[in-house]
């Protein structure tokens, strides 16, 4: 960045916190604000690259502002709970004061903006490139295989049976759309935990989108009988209505969101819930990897492509973080990072070849478990289960050093932890590697 001396404008660093739903975005943002508020305390103070920062201050003036209060309230409550799942986008603004020598002309203030949004919407990024037949073909390629084929067998059959040329039945279309949304919601939850749930706004509408106004569904018959070329549909047929509404969704809902928020980013943090996917098994792992590859595709486009321009204009740093590492023992925490690297090997390699500073790491926004070491040296974790609220003592499994190539890996019975008691706004939350992540993102 170039600063002009003697200008009063405060430089703004925009960081996108990207991740599929439940990856841990909102929790990380809450923890980051908390760490920056307490910048002279805790691990952050030891980071030499950040030694000039003296004071952090959360600004409420962003519109719409990230609800830090709600996050803090949830985490410091007794019993504490995680922040609620996000329903709309918001921006967290933090002002940092920087200690500079008296003769320096560099600005003494700096603003960090963190963008939070529902993870469901991120997947729409893949959809920006697709016309309606491609959309149907892609969704069909996922739905015709296990596990999706088993989750909603009759819905998929019903969709495949519809003749795109036939005149549309508006009420039935609406009903099918609702069933499709319900199917997406099902496949997102355990035990499946699938990631490629399109269109994302069916799951979470946001403030202004009303799916019932312009309903559409993927029509699989289109794809079954297709012979190439854009199909022609008579007016008011299933095909024509769905194509029209799909394009409206793509161009007036999905696209504006990305072009508005992603083009001014200076850095991206990509959060992946690798542990969560591993507890769900290989199908979830595969689906998540495919989803992430689709989402990270634009980074590798050249600047002659509008998506490539959107992503590459300013972004210099990308951190890929496996979250929730506090569910593991210290030795496995290190392995989680190398697992993440081998899991996303293709993508990481491609990103590394671009002129982007890339870092793969494992983090925990809030350390939820305490480590108990027995007299014989065996270690276990003690925390509270998120669902039952009961205390639990467990030894997580030892992770392999690298991801098996076929992703045939499953972690059994790993509890999901609730936040630890005794968190306090005036102290940096106990976390793992948050300081290193910030040092990477905020370095000059």
Partner 1 sequence: MPNSSPPEQLLRTVIHATGDEVPPIDAEQIYQDQTTEAEPEPLLPAAHNPWLTRLITTALLIWLIVIWAQAVVWGWALNTLIGLTLLAAGSGIFGGFLWLGWQARRARHKLDAITAIQAQFLKAKAPHAPQTGVLNLSRRIAQLLQKNPQQAALVQALSSVDESWTYTELAQQLEHSYGAQDRIAAKLIQREAIRTGIFIAASPYPLLDFLLVAWRNVAMVERVALIYHLKLSTPARWHLYQMILRNIAFTTVTETVLDSVSQSWLSNVLLQVGVRAGQGVGVALYSVRIGHQAMRLCRVVPETQPLVDRNIGKMVIEAVRSKTHS
Q: List contacts with ligand GTP (CB under 6 A).
A: 19, 21-27, 82-83, 85-86, 118-119, 323-324, 326-327, 364-366, 368, 386, 416-417
Nearer to ligand GTP, 247 or 414 (CB): 414
Q: Which does 406 bind (CB under 5 to 8 A by kind): ligand GTP, Mg ion, partner 1, none?
A: partner 1
- The site for Mg ion, by CB under 5 A, has a size of 3
Q: Which long-range CB contacts under 8 A does 354-359 form with residues at least 24 apart?
A: 354/299, 354/300, 354/312, 356/299, 356/315, 356/316, 356/317, 356/318, 357/316, 357/317, 357/318, 357/440, 358/317, 358/318, 358/319, 358/320, 359/317, 359/318, 359/319, 359/320, 359/440
Q: Which does 417 bind (CB under 5 to 8 A by kind): partner 1, ligand GTP, Mg ion, none?
A: ligand GTP
Nearer to partner 1, 219 or 358 (CB): 358
Rg of the chain, C-alpha, whole Å: 23
- DSSP code for 252: I
Residue 6: both structure tokens together: 């003697």
Picking from 107, 109, 180, 124, the residue whose alpha carbon sits closest to that of residue 148 is: 180
Least distance from C-beta 324 to ligand GTP, angstroms?
4
Q: Does 79 bind partner 1 (CB under 8 A)?
A: no
Name which position in 1, 2, 4, 146 contacts partner 1 (CB under 8 A).
146
Q: How far apart are CA 272 and CA 290, in angstroms?
A: 12
- The site for partner 1, by CB under 8 A, has a size of 64
Nearer to partner 1, 177 or 367 (CB): 367
Name which position in 367, 437, 441, 442 contacts partner 1 (CB under 8 A).
367
Q: Does 276 bind partner 1 (CB under 8 A)?
A: no
Window of 205-213, 215-223, 224-232, 424-432 that interacts with partner 1 by CB under 8 A: 424-432
Q: Does 86 bind Mg ion (CB under 5 A)?
A: yes
24: left (phi over 0), alpha (psi -120 to 50) or beta: left
The edge-to-edge listing of strands for the beta sheet with 267-272 is: 53-59, 90-98, 109-116, 12-19, 267-272, 317-322, 357-362
Least distance from C-beta 59 to partner 1, angstroms?
28
Name which position in 9, 213, 390, 405 contacts partner 1 (CB under 8 A).
390
Least distance from C-beta 353 to ligand GTP, angstroms?
28
Report the interhelical angle of 330-343 vs 345-353 (nearest 10°): 70
Q: Which residues bind Mg ion (CB under 5 A)?
A: 25-26, 86
């Amino acid at each position: 960045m170039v600063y002009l001396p003697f200008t009063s404008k405060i430089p703004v660093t925009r960081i996108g916190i990207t991740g599929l739903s439940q990856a841990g975005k909102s929790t990380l943002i809450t923890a980051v604000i908390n760490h920056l508020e307490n910048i002279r305390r805790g691990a952050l103070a030891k980071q030499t690259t950040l030694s000039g920062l003296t004071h952090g201050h959360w600004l409420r003036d962003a519109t719409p502002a990230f609800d830090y209060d709600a996050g803090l309230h949830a985490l410091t409550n007794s019993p504490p709970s995680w922040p609620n799942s996000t329903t709309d986008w918001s921006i967290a603004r933090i002002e940092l004061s920087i200690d500079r020598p008296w003769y320096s002309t560099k600005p003494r203030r700096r603003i960090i903006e963190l963008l939070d949004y529902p993870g469901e919407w991120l997947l729409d990024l893949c959809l920006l490139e697709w016309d309606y037949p491609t959309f149907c073909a892609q969704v069909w390629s996922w739905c015709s295989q296990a596990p999706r084929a088993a989750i909603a067998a009759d819905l998929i059959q019903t969709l495949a049976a519809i003749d795109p040329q036939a005149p549309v039945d508006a009420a039935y279309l609406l009903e099918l759309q609702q069933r499709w949304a319900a199917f997406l919601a099902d496949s997102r939850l355990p035990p499946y935990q699938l990631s490629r749930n399109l269109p994302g706004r069916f799951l979470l509408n946001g403030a202004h989108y009303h799916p019932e106004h312009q309903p559409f569904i993927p029509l699989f018959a289109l794809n079954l009988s297709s012979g190439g070329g854009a199909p022609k549909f008579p007016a008011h047929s299933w095909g024509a209505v769905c194509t029209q509404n799909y394009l409206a969704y793509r161009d007036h809902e999905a696209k504006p969101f990305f072009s508005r928020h992603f083009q001014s980013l200076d850095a991206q943090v990509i959060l992946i819930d690798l542990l969560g996917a591993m507890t769900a098994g290989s199908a979830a792992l595969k689906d998540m990897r495919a989803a992430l590859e689709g989402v990270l595709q634009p980074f590798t486009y050249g600047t002659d492509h509008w998506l490539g321009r959107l992503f590459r204009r300013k972004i210099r740093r990308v951190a890929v973080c496996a979250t929730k590492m506090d569910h593991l023992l210290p030795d496995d925490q290190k392995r989680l990072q190398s697992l993440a690297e081998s899991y996303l090997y293709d993508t990481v390699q491609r990103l590394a070849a671009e002129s982007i500073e890339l870092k793969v790491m494992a983090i925990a926004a809030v350390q939820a478990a305490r480590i108990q070491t027995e007299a014989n040296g065996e270690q276990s974790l003690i925390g509270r289960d998120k669902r039952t609220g009961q205390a639990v003592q467990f030894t997580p499994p030892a992770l392999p050093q690298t991801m098996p190539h076929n992703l045939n890996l499953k972690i059994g019975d790993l509890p999901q932890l609730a936040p630890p008691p005794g968190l306090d706004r005036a102290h940096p939350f106990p976390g793992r590697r948050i300081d290193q992540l910030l040092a990477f993102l905020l370095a000059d």
